[in-house]
Structure 1
């Protein structure tokens, strides 16, 4: 059994900002690996000579800014994605909780997967825009910015083009959830201790391990999805996709026929390398942002450490703590005022 835990010392807006800032920073830092991964999945000429040569070819053809193409679309997607994901996840979890507020591990993972699909539906056009911006040459662009990408795709290819390949997000959620479930069910065996005693470092390792296994299992679905997002008769070389196809099933067939089964995992090296710095930065930035918020709320004595403020009830929510502070302040002011009157 597992409990759904959150830090009640943060307001909802503070939690939202912490997650958004951490995601924005970690995505920006690891953007070069994401660019190489997506180009490898689509099959553009940049990826034909292997992982390390891809960096050199991108730099020679597009310069340093080529490694941050599509990053704005990816970052903009974070905020609505997290908001929808969190709201949906809480509703699903609430439906499956028992009377004590507990939920089984597999139900929690299922809830996370379903919430991810709903959030992806709400933000999918931004993912399509990200893919189109990454596969183009930024020195000879077809699209100029996120808004231009969305409007041009809608105008030239229709609304459905902004959701091309979405069904693969739903299909890919199944092996992804299975991978997470398989990892989390065996964490106690891995560490030889119960999950409630895991340190922050162990939780970071657990997250990286679960993401690595889950993404590897669902990777073929993402590869085909990226190819479907990229392919367009209105783009040079059909978007740079290495095979031509008429639909999802045909894409699987053409990829295996021309490039072999293992090509469905093209870009996995960049994706795997990205996991550790991404989750490391995500975790670190979130904790730093959280410390600032906890300090501002009055729970800790410094934004640089988690040392608790003496005399503060950590079980109180931010609003409750603010009410207590206001009450004490008024009481102290009143007592000081009465003593002053007594002196006079």
Structure 2
């Protein structure tokens, strides 16, 4: 019985470790499916600022984005993209179909632990807030989603910056350590959290809106079909719909983060200091001045067609994993009870 002590009804009858395993599997499956759309989205968003020769940026989404810079050998830049389909065709034609999954292994190294932290924190926070908020328990997912995203983004941000530096240049870990130590001595510890501001501006509202709409949509569909437990289809539809809505609202901040990361990559390619002085709204004004308001919604279609299935796959896989462990725990508890009675 001691092994099940933390699997209380408040968190769905499963332990935090089991929640971590469920979110880990969801993050892996989602990453494999949506990385090609990540590549296309970032290429479209960043083509106004060409990538450094031989390098390009990719995202990987499991309700969260993770950027990295990848060596690409001999550059075969496909030129300007006129749209999503054109980007797919040109990338595959010029760089091969494997390029659509470029950066997947190093991205998983960051995406999986970040997603595990995020989802586990959300579930634990949401369960605790539902108990404390009483009549306003329906708003618990909104608050829990925002807090969980702030926490996970803050923890992972320095690691993402270090990984970007490590991937952008061939150097030993000792050289990387010396570089980081020098940056900290010159600019302070806060230099390890560069780019966190626009990340939070995009991801915290996304997370809050996503979880609130997901929980409400799931409850509504369960009532519509007169069932007590959501099916795989219900979680899939709820995840896709809530993710689509949140992605549209937060797209301008996604574009800003991409532009700033591209500028960072260009500085690294020229071995210049990491200076990211432009604020989020300064970058927004620059984008509007160059490309109009449409520039703030660059990559709209690939982001939408990526986020919807990504959120759907991630949450349905996660819920399936939790249901599996919940059933396993119930069967184990029943077996212990039967053995104790005999």
Tell me if TM exceeds 0.5: yes
State the distance in 2 between where 1:71 and 1:247 align.
30
State the distance in 1 between where 2:319 and 2:120 align.
22
SS at match of 1:104: helix
Q: CA deviation at 1:228?
A: 1.6
Aligned to 1:307: none
Aligned to 1:258: 290
Q: CA deviation at 1:200?
A: 3.2
State the distance in 2 between where 1:176 and 1:13 align.
22
SS at match of 1:48: coil
Correspondent of 2:337 among 304, 324, 328: 324
State the distance in 1 between where 2:252 and 2:171 align.
28
For structure 2, the 5+ residue unaligned runs are 1-8, 51-78
CA contact (8 A) 1:165 1:248 kept: no
Backbone CA RMSD of aligned residues: 4.2
Identify if the C-alpha distance between structure 1 residues 35 and 47 changes in structure 2 by more than 3 Å, giving closer, same or farther: farther
Deviations 1:87-129 (A, max 9, x none): 5435644653446977522232121112111111111245457
Deviations 1:130-153 (A, max 9, x none): 7789xxxxxxx8446997997697
Aligned to 1:32: 36
Deviations 1:234-277 (A, max 9, x none): 344899xxxx9833232111111101111112122112112343
Q: CA deviation at 1:16?
A: 1.4
Aligned to 2:97: 64
Q: CA deviation at 1:81?
A: 2.2
State the distance in 1 between where 2:251 and 2:115 align.
22
- TM-score under structure 2 length normalisation: 0.67
Instruction: Please tell me whether Structure 1 or Structure 2 has the larger radius of gyration of its CA atoms.
Output: 1
SS at match of 2:82: coil
Q: Following superposition of structure 1 onto structure 2, how do residues 1-344 of structure 1 map, counting pairs within 5 Å?
A: 6-8=11-13, 10-43=14-47, 44-45=49-50, 48-86=81-119, 88-89=121-122, 92-93=125-126, 96-98=129-131, 104-128=137-161, 142-143=168-169, 154=180, 162-172=192-202, 173-174=204-205, 177-178=208-209, 181=212, 193=224, 196=228, 199-232=231-264, 233-236=266-269, 246-283=278-315, 285-286=317-318, 289=321, 297=328, 314=330, 318=332, 320-321=333-334, 323-324=336-337, 327=340
State the distance in 2 between where 1:213 and 1:148 align.
44
Q: CA deviation at 1:167?
A: 1.0
